[in-house]
Amino acid sequence: MEQREVLDRITAKIQEYLSARQEDGFLNFRQPAELEEILRLDQCRDGADWPEIFRWIEKYLEYSVKTGHPGFVNRMWAGANLPSLVGEIVAAAANTSSCTYETAPVSTLMEKYMLREMLDLVEFEHGEGQMTTGSSNANMLAMMAARNEMLPEAKTNGLSGAADICGFVSADAHYSMEKAANILGLGTNRLIKIPVTATGEMDVAVLATQLEETTAGGRWPFFVAGTAGTTVRGAYDPINELLELRRKYRFWLHIDGAWGGAVVVSKTLKEKYLAGIGEVDSFTWDFHKMLGTALMCNVFLINHRNHTLGKVCSAEDDSYIFHGNDNEVRDPGAVSLQCGRRVDSLKWFLDWKYFGRTGFANHVERCLALCEYAENVVRASEDLELVLPRVSFNICFRYKTLEQNANRLNLAIRTKLYHEGISLVGYAFHGQQLFLRLLLAGHGLTTSDVDRYFSQLIHTGKTLERGAS
């Protein structure tokens, strides 16, 4: 089979898949053992021909989750914008690493352009940034930068014999913060978790007390991370109150906006949820979540500093790949934790040019309006109830029941909807109470989709209740 025929066939398959991804169910579910038998992954040990390759592609598409389907309301991402999908295909065809200008001249300039756009959007002055593999990586970079600024010799000498430092995060902060503390040698016990208020925000009064006690005990608070849109509840930590504490204790203030940071594109929502963001030390957010760029697409920004990334990430080795200013442009890989870097800037750039800030702002505002609508549906329903008050984009609810084990029934409802390919929603716990976490991030979702989702969930709940009685 010639290259043109292969590419024509795969283009047709992708077109067929995209055209049908919102039809029927979101998943043709099979148990793992059954799916292994269908896939027959052990075939063709000595090499497969193109017809066999295409059979695997067809099976992949047939049995994978259709994340662009209205029933996929489980994650903070859903589907992919068409401009970024095109960018992903083109980047894969060109197949280069965006580590140096000489191997990736266009993507290097695109990334630098987009970083300037984002720095301006967040109102960071004299700042710098980079694209990373995601906010988990960006959160670690922020903690690493804060550590090295507090302890400049940590890069060369490590933490042995260094001053006793500690960081602070919300109790509802993303688990990547603990991973970062472990990877950087800080230790998870030195990452102090601050309880949250009734609405899920970091309790700044408790943080103030902890900072006072910490410094009185001879420890140095080097890092505080606020969250803009917590994973479960969607809460926003109060940036201006954290800035007040930073003025006193001089720690590095980072804001993890992986999910809720998308509001920065809307002037109205930025003022409501991210007041003070232009004064923090660093900020991260994911274009691949609410904004819909193809996975993965993250940006990490640093404020009021121009050379921090080089100090933190550089291996001080320009001998074989990085050669200073050969091309009058700093190579992205020289200030990255990665050596090989995917060309994510192309899809990011194409999405930005296609939708623009106005288009993205309209989308985020529509998402919030849809969440408000969903909340009102829950409040008006005799069969549903809110478990936690909605504060932004997360609807935490459950099916009401007189059964003694409401947790088991709600989990059974979720599982049945998943196995039947109707919908997939996340779940979490508030204390001992299990609830469903509805996320409405997909482009093209409507109030009709929300109504259909709740109608199917209620029908399933009533069916299971009848079966149990």
DSSP letter string, 3-33: HHHHHHHHHHHHHHHHHHTTSS-S-----HH
Q: Which helix (H) or strand (E) holds 169?
A: strand 165-170
> pLDDT-derived band of residue 159, with 50, 70 and 90 as boundaries?
confident
The residue ranking higher by pLDDT, 50 or 331, is 50
| Angle ∠(60,66,69) on CA atoms, nearest 5 | 160
The percentage of the chain sitting over the pLDDT mark of 90, rounded to a whole number, equals 80
Dihedral in degrees, nearest 10, Cα atoms 198, 200, 201, 203: 50
What pLDDT score does 326 carry? Answer: 58
3-state SS, one letter per residue, for 117-161 = HHHHHHCCCCCEEEEECCHHHHHHHHHHHHHHHHCCCHHHHCCCC
pLDDT tens for each residue of 383-430 = 999 999 999 999 999 999 987 799 999 999 999 999 999 999 999 999
**Whether the bond into 296 is cis, omega within 30 of 0:** yes
**Strands 165-170, 220-227: pairing kind:** parallel
- Edge-to-edge, what's the strand order for the sheet holding 252-256? 128-132, 298-302, 282-286, 252-256, 220-227, 165-170, 191-194
What pLDDT score does 461 carry? Answer: 96
**Tally of helices (H runs) and strands (E runs) in the chain:** 15, 12
Tell me the angle at which helices 345-380 and 82-94 cross, rounded to the nearest 10 degrees: 150
> From CA 195, how far away is CA 206, in angstroms rounded?
7
**In the numeric block, which tokens belong to residue 253?**
């203030």
**In the numeric block, which tokens belong to residue 116?**
């300037």
> pLDDT-derived band of residue 315, with 50, 70 and 90 as boundaries?
low
Taking every pair of C-alpha atoms in the chain, what is the biggest distance, in angstroms? Answer: 76
- Check: CB of residue 280 under 8 Å from CB of residue 123: no
- Check: CB of residue 383 under 8 Å from CB of residue 455: no
What pLDDT score does 162 carry? Answer: 79
**DSSP for residue 42:** T
Q: Which helix (H) or strand (E) holds 361?
A: helix 345-380
What pLDDT score does 335 carry? Answer: 84
What pLDDT score does 47 carry? Answer: 82
pLDDT tens for each residue of 82-134 = 999 999 999 999 999 999 899 999 999 999 999 999 999 999 999 999 999 99
Average of per-residue pLDDT across 305-332: 73
End-to-end CA, the chain? 59
Residue type present at position 361: A
CB atoms inside a 10 Å sphere around CB 370: 20
pLDDT greater than 60 at residue 325: no
> From CA 394, how far away is CA 406, in angstroms rounded?
21
